[in-house]
Chain A
């Protein structure tokens, strides 16, 4: 399994933003600063979120999983953003409803159809209220990293620290 970039540098806590666009800009810029995505990733992910919303009414706290086409990605990565205050995201599969989201899992995927087990494990996290609440209330990035590494199979991690 090819490795996925995931460590403290892509975990953003207490993220302050007034809109979903601002959340995506901040998280996207952060990925860009580590050369994980191309510059085009940011406008692409904002446009995609507008067209196909990714907010999910998960138990305990709502999450969003913004993602976009593989062309904008340099390297597979998952970025976690815990928002200081909830930001409204559209609900996936719904053209009107919005939901106050507190945790954003920004997915930078570099190829189609290849990450089934990781995605299934991620959805498993979404279905565990306890895990989501731990991420929401955790003040320490390393603890969030450990929690997710325990639940997700990232393969061999590279580019750490």
Chain B
């Protein structure tokens, strides 16, 4: 399986994406996956359209990207986290 590039983005690239990044890192380890995690500001996503396989973000985005976008707010509120994790895993295992 080729290594997937996963973008983790929030508005500033310092707070919420840090938490989401940590959660995904843990998830990746638990599932023995090999993933290239890139933590960025949402404004920087444009630079990765050719390489990324998935965008996980707490910031809203109205742009269309050639890869799936998963909202990661549940990692912060704790409500619905398991569903979001499943969604991410499904994409990573594709």
Residues of the B chain whose Cβ atoms lie less than 8 Å from the Cβ of A52: 10-12, 42, 59-60
Residues of the A chain whose Cβ atoms lie less than 8 Å from the Cβ of B39: 113
B60 with A112: CB separation less than 8 A: no
Task: List CB contacts (< 8 Å) of A66-96 with chain B.
Answer: 67-70, 91-95
Known: A92-B58, A126-B77. A113 touches B18 (CB 8 A): yes
A84 CB to closest chain B CB (Å) equals 24
B5 lies within 8 A of chain A by Cβ: no
How far, in whole Å, are A51 and B12 apart by their CA atoms in the complex?
A: 11
B60 with A67: CB separation less than 8 A: no
B19 CB to closest chain A CB (Å) equals 5
A42 lies within 8 A of chain B by Cβ: no
Give the A interface residue count (CB, 8 A): 31
> Which 5 pairs between the two chains have the least Cβ-Cβ distance?
A52-B11, A127-B78, A52-B59, A112-B14, A93-B71
- Given pairs A69-B14, A93-B71, A123-B76, 7 additional interface contacts (CB within 8 A): A48-B11, A51-B11, A56-B77, A65-B16, A93-B57, A93-B59, A116-B19
Interface residues of A, Cβ cutoff 8 Å to B:
48, 51-54, 56-59, 65, 67-70, 91-95, 107, 109, 111-113, 115-116, 119-120, 123, 126-127
25 interchain pairs, CB-CB under 8 A: A51-B11, A52-B60, A53-B60, A54-B16, A56-B77, A58-B77, A58-B78, A59-B78, A59-B79, A65-B16, A92-B58, A92-B76, A93-B58, A93-B60, A93-B71, A107-B15, A109-B15, A113-B14, A116-B22, A119-B15, A123-B75, A123-B76, A126-B76, A126-B77, A127-B79
